[in-house]
Amino acid sequence: MNVIEVKNYEEMSRIAAQHIIKKIRAHRSYKLGLATGSTPKGVYHYLVKDHQETQTSYQQIKTFNLDEYVGISAHDSNSYHYFMREHLFNHIDIPAEHTYIPSGVSTNLEKECLHYEEKIRLHGGVDLQLLGIGQNGHIGFNEPGTSFKSRTHIVPLTESTRKANARFFPSIEEVPTHAITVGIGTILDSKEILLLASGKAKAEAISRLLNGDLDEEFPASSLLTHKHVTVIADEEALSLTK
Ligand code: F6R
């Protein structure tokens, strides 16, 4: 696992964006695995800025998001579909039909999970997966105890994750109780993984990831089994590591 220490959120975002832009320019039909949340917002800002300034093209790029809330439609401003349009897709030249996000309102969620796996497989897999990390070590919405072999599935969200995400909703009661997420096995199939972490709130998780052992109670530790993982973390996120 390669660790890049950066000063702050801004530098983390810039370096991650530069890495992604380089790959996209070199491989026209690159498959990007994307995340939502506070962590990748800065990366998306820099991707948009670069697209506006240098016209890096996303016309042949395909994207696969990690997850979506169950019961929240793509038009809802709390959906991850909406988040991605707001922060990235509406500002670059990617065709909407090249952007894949699981549907949280499918009438058959089990089937939706199988179809999503199939879509990723049919496109030859994800080349680069961008990840944030939960304070409890979750990746995607794979909470502690999830099998490292898991594929796309429906998960009940833990109280701590619902609390952490409550800031986006009018009240905690309105935070969905379930989500659809790619599995840890799905994430590990990506050819390359870029995990980003910024701020003190992530320090314990990053320390456990970098010092720790493989443990299904700490989902991010599954990344220790992957050959090509880069962690870009800022000083605060690394503050408990040394
Ligand atoms: C989001 C996702 C989650 C987040 C994690 C960290 O698509 O899959 O695993 O990456 O909850 O969230 P932030 O970045 O908001 O701290």
CA angle 125, 128, 129 (to 5 degrees): 90
pLDDT band at residue 28, thresholds of 50, 70 and 90? confident
Q: What is the residue-averaged pLDDT of the chain?
A: 96
pLDDT in tens, 212-237: 889 999 999 999 999 999 999 999 99
For the chain, what percent of residues have pLDDT higher than 90? 91
CA of 183 to the centre of ligand 1 (A): 14
Q: What are phi and psi of 134, to 5 degrees?
A: -80, 160
- The confidence score (pLDDT) of residue 230 equals 98
**Nearest residue by C-alpha to atom 8 in ligand 1:** 140
What three-state secondary structure class fits 65?
strand
**First-to-final CA distance of the chain:** 16
Return the active site residues.
67, 136, 138, 143
pLDDT in tens, 35-73: 999 999 999 999 999 999 999 999 999 999 999 999 999
pLDDT band at residue 33, thresholds of 50, 70 and 90? very high
- The confidence score (pLDDT) of residue 75 equals 94
Question: Does the Cβ of 139 fall within 6 Å of ligand 1?
Answer: yes
Residue 7 is classified by DSSP as S
- The confidence score (pLDDT) of residue 5 equals 98
Alpha-carbon distance of 20 to 27, in angstroms, equals 11
CA of 116 to the centre of ligand 1 (A): 19
8 Å CB contact between 39 and 76: no
Alpha-carbon distance of 4 to 230, in angstroms, equals 7
pLDDT in tens, 167-186: 888 899 999 999 999 999 99
For residue 110, is pLDDT > 80?
yes
Question: Does the Cβ of 42 fall within 6 Å of ligand 1?
Answer: no
- The confidence score (pLDDT) of residue 100 equals 98
Testing ligand 1's pocket by substitution, the residue of 36, 79, 190, 195 carrying the most ligand atoms inside 8 A of its CB is: 36
CA of 66 to the centre of ligand 1 (A): 9
pLDDT band at residue 21, thresholds of 50, 70 and 90? very high
- The confidence score (pLDDT) of residue 101 equals 98
Question: Does the Cβ of 38 fall within 6 Å of ligand 1?
Answer: yes
Amino acid letter at 63? T
Atom of ligand 1 nearest to the CA of 80: 7
Count of Cβ atoms closer than 10 Å to residue 184 Cβ: 25
Alpha-carbon distance of 18 to 16, in angstroms, equals 5
- The confidence score (pLDDT) of residue 217 equals 97
- Tokens standing for 188? 């590990």
* Average pLDDT of the residues in 78-101: 97
- The confidence score (pLDDT) of residue 205 equals 97
For residue 161, is pLDDT > 90?
no
For residue 156, is pLDDT > 80?
yes
pLDDT in tens, 176-212: 999 999 999 999 999 999 999 999 999 999 999 998 8
- The confidence score (pLDDT) of residue 208 equals 97
CA of 153 to the centre of ligand 1 (A): 17
Q: 2-179+190-197: which CATH number, 3.40.630.30, 3.40.190.10, 3.40.50.1360, 1.10.357.10?
A: 3.40.50.1360
Alpha-carbon distance of 86 to 221, in angstroms, equals 31
Q: What proportions of the chain, in percent to the nearest 5, are helix, strand and coil?
A: 40, 20, 40
Question: Does the Cβ of 127 fall within 6 Å of ligand 1?
Answer: no
Residue 215 is classified by DSSP as -
8 Å CB contact between 16 and 196: yes
Does the interface ipTM go beyond 0.90? yes
Alpha-carbon distance of 128 to 46, in angstroms, equals 17
Environment class of 222 (CB within 10 Å of its CB; exposed 0-12, middle 13-18, buried 19+):
buried
Question: Does the Cβ of 36 fall within 6 Å of ligand 1?
Answer: yes
